[in-house]
Amino acid sequence: MTFQCVHNNFNVLNLEKSIAFYKEALGLQVVREKEAADGSFKLVFLGDGTSQHQVELTWLRDRTQPYDLGDNEIHLAYMTDDMDAAFAKHKEMGCVCFENPSMGIYFIEDPDGYWIEIVPDRSKK
């Protein structure tokens, strides 16, 4: 028996704003969508075009309050081949929320407060 990670889910208040953020910040594209027949929810799956893993954004029509993310200890991590350019882009976007220079990583925050870790591709060193 084997298992393969296929997606992670984030619930979002403003689906269009979140899609735009993930597109600009990480280059993710919409790969599929599913909407409830009654319009009560919509799922949008984003992919990076290179791996099978996807980010699922869930929008709930009746949700009006921000989600309680607790201590925000759960996060996604994305690897980049150009840490300097990525950091500059994210600084320009104003979404860098935590830096750890000693580990060579930093975190960005999406419109709903979810943190995403940015790590360098260390396979080439």
**How far is residue 17's CA from residue 22's CA, in Å, rounded to a whole number?**
9
Which one from 24, 73, 92, 117 is the annotated catalytic residue? 117
Q: What is the DSSP string of 22-70?
A: HHHHH--EEEEEEE-TTSSEEEEEEE-SSSS-EEEEEEETT--SPP--T
Q: What is the DSSP string of 70-92?
A: TT----EEEEES-HHHHHHHHHH
* Nearest residue to 79 (alpha-carbon basis) of 17, 114, 122, 36: 122
Residue 117 among the catalytic residues: yes
* Nearest residue to 119 (alpha-carbon basis) of 88, 76, 89, 72: 76
Q: Which residues are catalytic?
A: 117
